[in-house]
Each structure stands twice: as structure tokens, then as C-alpha cells.
Structure 1
Amino acid sequence: MTAYAAATSTSLTIRADLALTLIDMLVLVTVAIVAGGSKKLGMSKRRAALAETLVNALAAVGMCLSMAIVAGIAVQRIAAGGVEPHGSGVVLAMSLNVAYAAVNFWILRRWKARNMAAASALARAQICLFSDKLSSNLLIAASLATAMIWEGTMIARFIDPVAGLLIATMTARWTIPVVRDTARSLRREFRRARRPVARLGNERL
């Protein structure tokens, strides 16, 4: 439905929503596989932690990629004089994002509860991811509604690209903690991996 809305409108924010949705789906499928696989395969805590770190790295890369795509298109549209959103997909996308916001808010609350019960880098990354999704949903719905209200004016031409820049800014805000946690986890895993090597070298000496 999001792809259909993007194809039947001229809105940047709807295309941004489609890009965010596809990237987030890739991350969430990977999270589901890792979370389920670590239990079924009986992974050691160390391997499970490494798998979660790699998933967090994927989430960070995905969020950075979506931020770059949205910001790049928004700057191009502003430089071109803006584009007013038109098409049947505008109303559909606005309705979808209101529904998405409700669903993502519910999921966000579940991740927050899980993190309070057992804090982890994976839970924190998902909290950032769904906070980003929720803020994007609200911004998209609000920008499309505002553009419809100001239809035919110069303001309406710039609401869409400015909303795209705001979405990119919010994504950057939620990406920073994920990148920081991932870097710390990778550094910790690297140090753990070096300890056996250093110990073996000392034994040989």
C-alpha cells in the first residue's frame, strides 16, 4: 500500500516513507532471525552477543542510508523550487501513517518494557529504531495534511521537502545512540577475541 501511494503521488515524504519501510523491514527480519535463532540453536552468550552486535550494526547502517537518501532528495527539491504533493496516494499515505504511528507506538512500548526487564544493546537499538519510525510517521502525516490545507500556495511547494529534512534530522538523532552502542559492543568483542590469542602467545613463550 505504501508503494502504491508513492507511485500515485508526487510527494517526497511518501517516497521517503517507502525507503524507510523497506530498510526497516530488512533490519526487523534480521532481528527476528537472530532473536529466535539464538534460543533455538542454543548459542553461547558470547555468540548471541556478537550476533546482536552485528544486527545493531545493520540497523545503524540502514538508518544512516535512509537518512542520506531522504536528505539528498529534499535538498534537490528545495533547490528546484519545491514540489507540491499531488495524487490519490497522498490521502492514502496520510491514513497509513496514522495507522503506522499507532502500531509503532505499541511496539515501542513493548521494547521499552523488555529493556526495563532485561537491558540490552539490542533492545536499546530497537527503541531507537521504533522511535525514529514513530516520529517519521507523525511528521509525514502532519506534512501531508498541512500541504492539503495550503494547496495551491507557495508554502505548499516547500512543506514536503522541508518535512523530508526534518525526517532526516530525526533519523540522525536516533541513529547516534545506535552507532555509539554498536561501536562499544564491537570494541568489547574485539578485546575478548584478542585475549585467548594473547594468552596462547604467552604460553608458547
Structure 2
Amino acid sequence: MQPSRTTRSSGEPTAAQTARLAVVAGTPGLLLTAYAAATSTSLTIRADLALTLMDMLVLVTVAIVAGGRKNAGAGRKRQAALAETLANALAALGMCLSMAIVASIAVQRIAAGGVEPHGQGVFVAMNLNLAYAVVNFWILRQWKARNRLAASALARAQICLFSDKLSSNLLIAASLATAMIWQGTTIARFIDPVAGLLIATMTARWTIPVVRDAVRSLRREFRRARKPVA
């Protein structure tokens, strides 16, 4: 006799627990990224700060929504579903804004002839992103596990968000390491803005499914709101 879904999921972190863990894990990274951005000239570090700020806003919202959905009674399931839809829409909006900000700054830097990253924040950010690549990979696995147990638009959006965060971590760490190796050369001036464009491109790739899910959910909620009460 196979164990039920409920039995298999016992011992697994709930969506609310995973969301809260993501907020707790991300807070030190936000503070250190802000420090690194203030002590360097790197575009990718400033891009990382913008991405992290947007992501933290989304993560806090998801933690609140996931906690409310877990504790919602039968009469509040509709409100919980609407809150989840709005959280997904916020995630889509945050990812779009992050992509636009990073891309615009990168284009401006390239047009200006590039800027070589320097300052003590470069080394801090490189190691920070390597460490958070491990952290975000682990959280990504948790959301994938939650989605396998109970598929939802909220979990799918978080999978895309953390996939984006992981790819950004790796790109930022690689670009900063490369800029340090090529320090003092013309190439080093353009590594930073080109990395910014690559980050924006990866964000676009992971934003598309989140936007698609958010639009579908908003349409569904709009149709429900217009449906006459029997």
C-alpha cells in the first residue's frame, strides 16, 4: 500500500516555512550587497542590489500570503487565492522592473566607454554571490519539492524567481572574478556592463512564465468576480 500524499509530505517544509526561510536567508545578503555597492564602482553589484531589493519585497509578500493561505478557513479560501494571484503579479512586476533597470544602466555604461569595477566591495560581492549561489540553489530545490507535492502558481513563480537569483549569482561572481583578473585592461572596462546585459537577459527568460501565470490568474479572478452570485 502506497503512502498517501499527506503522509509523503509529512516532514517536508510547507510553502509558508520555505518562504519565511527565504526571507531570513536573504536578509544578510541584502545588507552585505548594499555595503558592497557603496564601496565599489561595479555595475553588476548595483544591479545585484536592485535585484535583491525587488526580490526581498516579493519574498516578504509571499511569506505573508503563504502563511495566510495555510491558516485560511473554508470561508477564506477565495481571499487567499486572490492574495496568491496578487503576489504572483508582484513577482512578475518586480522581475520586469529589475530587468529594465539593469539593462538601461548597462547600455548607458557601454555608451560611456565602460567602467572598470574597483573598490573593496568587488571582492566582498564576488564571495557573497558564490555563497548565495549555494543558498539559493538549496531554496530552489525546496520550492521544486513543494511544487511536486502540491503544484501551484505561487510555487512556480518562486521556482522562476530563485532560478533567476541563482543564474544572477553565478554571472555576477564570474564577471567580478574576470574583471579582477583582467584589471587595468580595456576588456575589464566592458566586462561589467556586458555582464549586466547578460543578467537582464536571464531575468527576461525567467520572467516570461511568471508573467504568463500572473495574467492567467488575474483573468480567472476577474471572471470569478464578474460571475453573478446564485
The TM-score range, normalised by the shorter chain, is: over 0.9
The CA deviation at 1:45 is 2.7
**Which residue, 169, 182, 199 being the options, matches 2:201?**
169
The CA deviation at 1:46 is 2.1
Task: State the alpha-carbon separation in 2 of the partners of residues 38 and 188 from structure 1.
Answer: 18
Aligned-pair Cα RMSD in Å: 1.1
The equivalent residue for 1:122 is: 154
The CA deviation at 1:41 is 4.2
Structure 1 unaligned residues grouped into runs of 5+: 200-205
Letter in 2 for 1:168: A
Task: State the alpha-carbon separation in 2 of the partners of residues 39 and 171 from structure 1.
Answer: 30
Structure 2 unaligned residues grouped into runs of 5+: 1-31
Runs of 4+ residues deviating >4 angstroms: none
TM superposition score normalised by structure 1 = 0.94
What is the DSSP-based 3-state SS (H/G/I as helix, E as strand, rest coil) of the residue aligned with 1:128?
A: helix
Task: State the alpha-carbon separation in 2 of the partners of residues 178 and 170 from structure 1.
Answer: 13
Letter in 2 for 1:24: D
> Are 1:10 and 2:41 an aligned pair?
yes
> Are 1:40 and 2:60 an aligned pair?
no
Letter in 2 for 1:85: P
- Matched-pair contact (CA < 8 Å) for 2:182–2:188: yes
Task: State the alpha-carbon separation in 1 of the partners of residues 198 and 142 from structure 2.
Answer: 26
Q: Aligned residue pairs: how many?
A: 198
Task: State the alpha-carbon separation in 1 of the partners of residues 54 and 226 from structure 2.
Answer: 33
Provide Cα deviations, 1:145-187, integer angstroms capped at 9, x if missing partner.
Answer: 0101111111110000000000001111111100000111111
Letter in 2 for 1:21: T
- Matched-pair contact (CA < 8 Å) for 2:72–2:80: no
The equivalent residue for 1:86 is: 118
Task: State the alpha-carbon separation in 2 of the partners of residues 3 and 45 from structure 1.
Answer: 38
**Which residue, 109, 133, 142 being the options, matches 2:174?**
142
> Are 1:100 and 2:132 an aligned pair?
yes
Provide Cα deviations, 1:45-74, integer angstroms capped at 9, x if missing partner.
Answer: 322211110000000110011111100100
- Matched-pair contact (CA < 8 Å) for 2:68–2:80: no
The CA deviation at 1:40 is 2.8
TM superposition score normalised by structure 2 = 0.84
The CA deviation at 1:140 is 0.1
What is the DSSP-based 3-state SS (H/G/I as helix, E as strand, rest coil) of the residue aligned with 2:147?
A: helix
What is the DSSP-based 3-state SS (H/G/I as helix, E as strand, rest coil) of the residue aligned with 1:119?
A: coil
Letter in 2 for 1:99: A
Task: State the alpha-carbon separation in 1 of the partners of residues 158 and 70 from structure 2.
Answer: 19
Task: State the alpha-carbon separation in 2 of the partners of residues 52 and 129 from structure 1.
Answer: 15
Task: State the alpha-carbon separation in 1 of the partners of residues 98 and 189 from structure 2.
Answer: 22
**Which residue, 76, 99, 111 being the options, matches 1:67?**
99
What is the DSSP-based 3-state SS (H/G/I as helix, E as strand, rest coil) of the residue aligned with 1:196?
A: coil
> Are 1:157 and 2:164 an aligned pair?
no
Bigger Rg over Cα: 1
The CA deviation at 1:119 is 0.5
> Are 1:189 and 2:221 an aligned pair?
yes
Task: State the alpha-carbon separation in 2 of the partners of residues 70 and 104 from structure 1.
Answer: 20
What is the DSSP-based 3-state SS (H/G/I as helix, E as strand, rest coil) of the residue aligned with 1:82?
A: coil
Task: State the alpha-carbon separation in 2 of the partners of residues 23 and 176 from structure 1.
Answer: 17
